[in-house]
Amino acid sequence: MLHLRVIAPPDRSPQVVDLLSAEAGVTHLAVLPGAARQPQGDLILCDVVRESADRVLQGLRRIGVDTSGGIAADDVELTISTAADRAARRAPGSGADAVVWDEIAAKTGEQTELSGTYLALITIATMIAGIGVLLDQPILIVGAMVVGPEFGPLAALCVALLRRRLRVIVRSVQALTVGFLAAMVATALSTWALNAAGLVSREMLLADRPLTDFIWRPDALSWVVGLLAGVAGMLSLTSKKSGSLVGVLISVTTVPAAANVAVASAYGVWDEAAGSALQLVINLCAIVLAGLLTLVVQQLWWWGLARRSRRSAAG
């Protein structure tokens, strides 16, 4: 359930109240006339179940509240209310599967910023993975997967493609491109430094690495893994069940592949560098494709559910 705080000009406040009163998934509606000062207007509070939230937010936008007033939404962690239980039963669909598009767009849009923290995390993750491929150590690869922050821009790219937000698309691609390039350059430099210190060697890269050689040998399963990762990652994002495990899943062939490109390039093993680069591209494309298709299916599902609900109400 979401808690909505709406500031509406006095001339539009009745429309907002009518909209919220007519929505089956809205409860705990309160109106404080003239309570808002910046901007001035009426303060309207309510709780809305997640499966109705997107429809309510779209309705408020149509009234123009987003331009003449303001809308804020917070998650409600605990609700003890018979009225809330009744609203959840009346609203079509399941709250666990509900997609609040404005929430997803806001959440992913924040992750397209090319910040120092993002660059530091993706660089550290790639450097850890670079050591992992030289040592043929899956534990280090998993550690790099957890640290890697690249799912944020990937998810933002999927949402922006669906909603045709060119500006967010450009920022997402920029964050991914600059992030991976900076991380690979730093990893190549660190490989040379470790080699000079006698801690690693070219022979370690050329030796048999049965536990990590999949990173630079793309095949049909690379597409399968990337597609499954994209679906899982997007479902976890839209259902608010994301966690460290999702980060591990999404990074499985992105950060390690980028690290192997850097290490192989540092040692001049170009066939392995090319294979790793192809692996990286395949999985990035597969993740974006699967994420976008998942969002399309979810959107079509909720559109159909809303139509069936309207027919049922009309009947």
Q: What is the pLDDT of residues 64-107, one digit of tens each?
A: 998 999 999 988 888 888 998 888 888 776 666 677 878 888 77
Q: What is the pLDDT of residue 26?
A: 92
Q: What is the pLDDT of residues 197-241, one digit of tens each?
A: 999 999 999 998 888 888 888 888 888 888 888 888 888 887 766
Residue 193 pLDDT exceeds 50: yes
Q: What is the pLDDT of residue 151?
A: 84
Domain boundaries, the chain: 2-98, 104-301
Residue 311 pLDDT exceeds 70: no
Please give the Cα distance from 79 to 109 (Å, whole number).
29
141 CB-contact burial (10 Å; exposed 0-12 / middle 13-18 / buried 19+): buried
pTM of the predicted model over 0.85: no
State how far the alpha carbon of 295 is from the alpha carbons of 61, 143, 181, in Å.
21, 29, 28
**pLDDT tier, 309 (very low <50, low <70, confident <90, very high otherwise):** low
Between 6 and 209, the higher pLDDT residue: 6
CATH of domain 2-98: 3.30.70.120
Q: What is the pLDDT of residue 306?
A: 65
The least confident of 78-82, 184-188, 276-280 is 78-82
Q: What is the pLDDT of residue 244?
A: 43
Residue 243 pLDDT exceeds 60: no
> For residue 210, is the peptide bond before it cis, meaning its omega torsion is within 30 degrees of 0?
no
Residue 308 pLDDT exceeds 90: no
Per DSSP, what are the bridge partners of residue 40? 37
Mean pLDDT for 35-50 is 92
Mean pLDDT for 287-291 is 92
Strand order in the sheet with 26-37: 26-37, 40-48, 2-8, 70-75
State how far the alpha carbon of 7 is from the alpha carbons of 46, 49, 106, 208, in Å.
12, 20, 19, 64
Please give the Cα distance from 230 to 249 (Å, whole number).
9
Q: What is the pLDDT of residues 98-136, one digit of tens each?
A: 778 788 887 777 778 888 999 999 999 999 999 999 999
Mean pLDDT across the chain? 86
Which one-letter amino acid corresponds to residue 203?
E
Contact 147, 124 (CB under 8 A): yes
Token pair for residue 258? Answer: 């980028």
Please give the Cα distance from 252 to 224 (Å, whole number).
12
